[in-house]
Structure 1
Amino acid sequence: MAGKKKVTGNLNTLFNKYSGKEKLEDEIDKLQSHLLELEIDRKRFEKNETTAKRALAAKQEAEEKLKAANVKIETLTHQLEEKRTEVSEEISFALIEEVTPSQITSYIDQLASIRSDRDSLISAYITEKEMNLNVGILKDGMREIDQNSQYLIQKIKSDTGYALFYDRMQMVKEVVVPALPFERSSVEMSSSFGTGTLKNTLMKDINVCILAAHAGESLIGISSDKTEFEEDMIIRSSVKAKHTKGGFSQRRFERLRDEDIDHHVEKVRNALKNMLEHATVDIDMMIICGDTVLAHYILENIDTDIPIMERNIDAKIEKHDIDSIIRSIFSCRRYKL
């Protein structure tokens, strides 16, 4: 903790050291205004050779000062970015791990059991749409969060938002990226953590259709319990591996590979259409993983209004354990700040 505070202090010192940048920018604005005035004077008195020469000399001097100021600002900006990089490399997550569906209930219960004798426990739920606004939310509702934690929170990538559980005494600093998205953002301070939204989001009943797309081998399936497929199908096609040599041979090979991929896409698309048409449950969400670019290509000509969500997981298709993909999809990601 002392090390992190020292890093933060160094960063603050750095910003103070280079605070002259704002003054330089003000000086540039003044010089640019002066240049404009000189140009007007030059044109006004261009018949007066002496005045014109004086104005031209003053303009050239102002331009040189302006150029020097811009160079200095560029140098300071570069040095500042270098220092920021050095500092950011010293700040990292204490822990990053997956919390599987079988572990999540115990994890939430442990968070819910924590108590404080005052309202010092912060619970925040941030939707994916509002993640870019989290700095404003931190300022308005969570001023007690330390700067290092704020920095780390902004590094988190998520398509489903995140939940933050933070003790103002910094004994608990947890961020959870849920498997399913939150419906709205909220921030509260209390003597206990508000885990209800996280639990309700993860435990709600949902019927999903999963598409794990890969060139040559893709998986489609329907699940209603987040643990196994009620219906699934693996579609395989012969797709050539990528060519590493150049020249005409590579171009011809890549054209044949593209044809193989198009053939695979059509097979998966037809199988998926058939599965959706004959599904025995209403599909609430389509979850795609693996090669998501290929997955979107497969979905292009499928007429459906089912919401689509991407999951960046290791979507390797295990022949003897295809349900592992479901477990990965519905696992949460935990960050310890």
Structure 2
Amino acid sequence: MLDELLGRASLKDRIDELEEENERLQSRYEAESERRADAATARQDAEEKVNRLEDRIAQLEGELEHVDGDGDSLAVRRRERLRGSRLAEVVGRLTSFRTGPEGALTAVLDSDDAVDDLRDETDIDLDDVLGERSALIDEATPCVLCVDDAGLVGVTLEPPVDLADEALGGDHDSRVTWTDRFALEEEWLLPTGRYALALVRTDLFALGVYESDERVDYRGFESDVKGNHSKGGFSQARFERIRDDQIDDHLERCTEALADYDVERLFVVGQRGVVDTLVEESGLEVAGTAAVDATGDPKPALEDAHRSFWTTDLRVL
């Protein structure tokens, strides 16, 4: 009676209703969290399975390239495409490797480099360690080469970033160093720190800002660009002029979008000709470019491009 007189009864009823609503929302949140966790686990399992299948395909393709009629051709012992946690694990093993002084060789090799060049420039003869298998290095360039003087480790890694200007061992002029460990930098092979990765096609733009492998910002759009020309209607020449103008407008939109983001490292991937044109005409300083085959809508295409870019080809010599 007193509660009714003081107007507290309705308040208590409202509190009870809110508590019940809170319990329902909490149960709903817990169910949704569990569903998302299950979905993330299923996706991770699927990605690991895809990785294993791609690794096996790459290994078989590598073996096929080197097998001749007698089956005696020189071939890498193993070839594997690495990404994600598997790549981090392999890089961790290599960086933790220790030898005596000047027992571990690290070399950054361009696509034009060869074992003979390494021998001529540095007086390093890898035949002493790898024997005839040193010839396999030429097929792996551009790459990072890691070899120890006992021949226990002999691998090449094809990094996603361009290492042409990298110097090793504190020597600004050297791309080769002998120390007691492999002079690998995680940022050469793994998504570390803050950076942006942009996917550019003739009709699509997608950009993600990342902290390591987690996307923290996103922007994407598609532009109306004519497809392949078909007979009838526009003449071929007029059609191509219109299409070229549409692509130019699209690349201008891409340049403006990129200018809105201030990040230390920018990677641009996608259709090779489109990427090269964008980088050249925009004057942007990029940390690396790559051709990737990422189709579909902007956001899922960006996920595919990011996954493809941060993939490293490992060869065990």
Q: Please give the range of the TM-score, normalised by the shorter of the 2 chains.
A: 0.5 to 0.7
Q: Distance in 2 between matches of 1:249 and 1:333?
A: 47
How big is the shift at 1:179? Answer: 2.4
How big is the shift at 1:87? Answer: 10
2:223 is the alignment partner of 1:233: no
Mind listing any 5+ residue stretches in structure 1 that lack a counterpart? 1-84
2:312 is the alignment partner of 1:332: yes
2:134 is the alignment partner of 1:153: no
Aligned to 1:46: none
Percent pairwise identity: 11
SS in 1 for 2:207: strand
Any conservation in 2 of the 1:145–1:168 contact (CA below 8 Å)? yes
Instruction: Rate the CA distance shift 1:156–1:265 in 2: closer, same or farther, 3 A.
Output: farther
Give the TM-score normalised by the residue count of structure 2.
0.59
Aligned 1:62-101 pairs, distance under 5 A: 90-101=73-84
Alignment partner of 1:270 out of 252, 257, 261? 252
Aligned 1:130-279 pairs, distance under 5 A: 132=113, 134-138=115-119, 140-143=123-126, 144-158=128-142, 162-182=143-163, 183-184=166-167, 185-188=175-178, 190=180, 193-195=181-183, 197-199=184-186, 201-202=188-189, 205-213=193-201, 215=202, 217-227=203-213, 228=215, 230-241=217-228, 252-253=235-236, 255-257=238-240, 259-267=242-250, 269-279=251-261
How big is the shift at 1:306? Answer: 1.3
Aligned to 1:306: 285
Instruction: Rate the CA distance shift 1:148–1:336 in 2: closer, same or farther, 3 A.
Output: same
Query: What's the CA shift string for 1:88-144, capped at 9, x where partnerless?
Result: 99233333332214333211222245456x669533131538x52653324613432
How big is the shift at 1:311? Answer: 1.4
Any conservation in 2 of the 1:141–1:187 contact (CA below 8 Å)? no
How big is the shift at 1:328? Answer: 1.9
Any conservation in 2 of the 1:212–1:315 contact (CA below 8 Å)? no
Aligned partner of 2:113: which letter? N
Q: Distance in 2 between matches of 1:261 and 1:148?
A: 51
Aligned partner of 1:212: which letter? V
Bigger Rg, structure 1 or 2:
1
Query: What's the CA shift string for 1:219-267, capped at 9, x where partnerless?
Result: 2314232433612213243432366xxxx97994465145324313312
Instruction: Rate the CA distance shift 1:147–1:272 in 2: closer, same or farther, 3 A.
Output: same
Q: Distance in 1 between matches of 2:222 and 2:278?
A: 13
Aligned to 2:60: none
Q: Indicate the RMSD between aligned Cα atoms, in angstroms.
A: 3.7
